[in-house]
């Protein structure tokens, strides 16, 4: 069969390889000058290609079970075997994140490109698909050079995130033109803009924290792990994971002593004040928090930094412990699609069969990757979805 894959990113490359391995005549359309442009920027250029803990719970979308067939057929273990067969040597970190041994995203892209070439995939770079029409027999694809006919079409255009590396959202338009619905789109795995009153002074500092995101007094997301303080607000893997739910008007609460109860923090503070009465409040937390975080916590509690510890009463110790256990800041928004790693929302999954990724509306049309209403947590889960769904769509069952 003549198959066109629209989008030469992570999911499209795997779909092209899969269809090619099944003996189909594959054309891979990529609007940018090179395939895999976004792949090259992943993991800060190291490409966190999967996570051995990939499971359906790490994914979000209207239908949480939609990812199950793709992940069961081609999960992290199968992905690692696949890349091993392509000659990629990988390293699995303690956290479960997997990187190429070369520490270069280019290695991941190269082995995919080499396999496409070996299978005779016709890769057309610098060619944007502008339109797609269902014909009686298959599909008519329109590019600036004219129209071509195919038996099957796979939409692998990615989402709207990471505009500088190719997130343009054109796949949504192609799917819409064929009658598919697109859910509301928002940036996810993105830095959060907050009130910077206290945070600005912490620019560049990293801390381990438990995070609670609240809207109208209700908890809308929780997370734990590394938080980075920046001039505009908060960043870091743990912040990315809750960012899909962050909207103006919500509030983030950081527990900066996640392994200690409030009483333990108070006991610690009491010990310090008894043992070192001459020290000032600025240093009361120096023993377990980064010094700037500790001093900011004291300021946040409304306690003067130069107050001698001997002058701190139990009420002030309670306020400082409260600042450590619940350092709250108002959310102003996110840095948006340009900075986001992934799009929340996408093509309505109820319009695709989860076991084949074929459209329920248009026979012979498939979709895979970020264009669908699926997004994963930070840590290799989004590329895993791209590989799993690309593999399934490329089977063209």
SS3 content of the chain, % helix, strand, coil (to 5): 35, 25, 40
CB of 50 to ligand FAD, least distance (A): 7
- CB-based contact 381:54 (threshold 8 Å): yes
CB of 284 to ligand FAD, least distance (A): 39
Segments in 252-378 forming alpha helices (H): 262-275, 291-300, 314-325
156 binds ligand FAD (CB under 6 A): yes
Instruction: Kindly provide the residue ranges of all beta strands, DSSP E only, lying in 103-243, ordered along the sequence.
Output: 122-125, 131-134, 139-143, 146-150, 152-155, 186-188, 192-194, 206-215, 218-229, 233-235
- CB-based contact 48:380 (threshold 8 Å): yes
Binding span for ligand FAD by CB under 6 A among 66-74, 168-176, 222-230, 319-327 = 168-176
Residue closer to ligand FAD, measured from CB, 107 or 296: 107
CB of 43 to ligand FAD, least distance (A): 3
Q: Which of 380, 388, 392, 396 binds ligand FAD (CB under 6 A)?
A: 380
Residue closer to ligand FAD, measured from CB, 6 or 269: 6
166 binds ligand FAD (CB under 6 A): yes
Q: Which of 3, 10, 26, 88 binds ligand FAD (CB under 6 A)?
A: 10
What's phi and psi for 155, nearest 5 deg? -90, 115
Length reported for the chain = 397
List the interface residues with ligand FAD, window 24-53 (CB under 6 A): 29-32, 37-39, 41-43, 47-48
What's phi and psi for 13, nearest 5 deg? -65, -45
- Taking residues 99 to 138 in sequence order and writing x for each that binds ligand FAD by CB under 6 A, - otherwise, the string is -----------------------------xx---------
97-100: strand order across its sheet: 50-51, 97-100, 90-92
Residue closer to ligand FAD, measured from CB, 171 or 364: 171
Contacting residues toward ligand FAD, per CB under 6 A: 6-12, 29-32, 37-39, 41-43, 47-48, 128-129, 156-158, 161-162, 165-168, 170-171, 341-342, 369-371, 380-383, 386
């Amino acid at each position: 069969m003549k198959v066109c894959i629209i989008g030469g990113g992570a999911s499209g490359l795997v779909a092209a390889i899969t269809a090619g391995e099944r003996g189909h005549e594959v054309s891979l359309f990529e609007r940018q000058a090179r395939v895999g442009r976004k792949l090259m920027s992943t993991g800060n250029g190291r490409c966190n290609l999967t996570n051995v803990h990939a499971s359906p719970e790490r994914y979000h979308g209207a239908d949480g079970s939609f990812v199950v067939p793709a992940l069961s057929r081609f999960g992290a273990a199968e992905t690692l075997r696949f890349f091993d067969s392509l000659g990629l040597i990988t390293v699995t970190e303690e956290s479960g994140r997997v990187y190429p041994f070369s520490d270069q995203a280019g290695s991941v892209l190269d082995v995919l490109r080499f396999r496409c070439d070996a299978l005779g995939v016709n890769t057309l770079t610098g060619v944007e698909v502008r339109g797609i029409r269902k014909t009686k027999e298959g599909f008519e694809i329109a590019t600036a050079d004219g129209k071509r006919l195919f038996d099957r079409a796979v939409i692998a255009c990615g989402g709207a995130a990471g505009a500088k590396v190719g997130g343009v959202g054109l796949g949504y338009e192609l799917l819409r033109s064929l009658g598919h619905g697109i859910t509301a789109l928002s940036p996810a795995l993105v830095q959060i803009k907050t009130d910077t009153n206290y945070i600005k002074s912490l620019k560049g500092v990293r801390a381990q924290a438990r995070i609670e995101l609240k809207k109208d007094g209700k908890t809308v997301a929780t997370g734990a792990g590394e938080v980075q303080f920046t001039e505009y607000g908060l960043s870091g893997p743990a912040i990315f994971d809750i960012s899909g739910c962050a909207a103006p008007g919500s509030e983030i609460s950081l527990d900066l002593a996640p392994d200690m109860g409030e009483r333990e923090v108070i006991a610690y503070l009491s010990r310090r004040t008894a043992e070192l009465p001459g020290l000032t409040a600025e240093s009361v937390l120096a023993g377990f928090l980064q010094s700037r975080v500790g001093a900011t916590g004291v300021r946040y509690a409304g306690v003067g930094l130069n107050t001698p510890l001997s002058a701190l009463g139990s009420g002030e110790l309670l306020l400082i412990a409260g600042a450590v256990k619940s350092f709250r800041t108002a959310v102003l928004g996110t840095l948006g699609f340009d900075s986001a790693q992934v799009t929340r929302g996408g093509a309505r999954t109820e319009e695709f069969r989860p076991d084949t990724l074929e459209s329920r509306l248009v026979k012979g049309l498939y979709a895979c990757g970020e264009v669908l209403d699926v997004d994963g947590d930070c840590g290799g889960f989004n590329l895993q979805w791209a590989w799993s769904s690309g593999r399934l769509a490329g089977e063209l069952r």
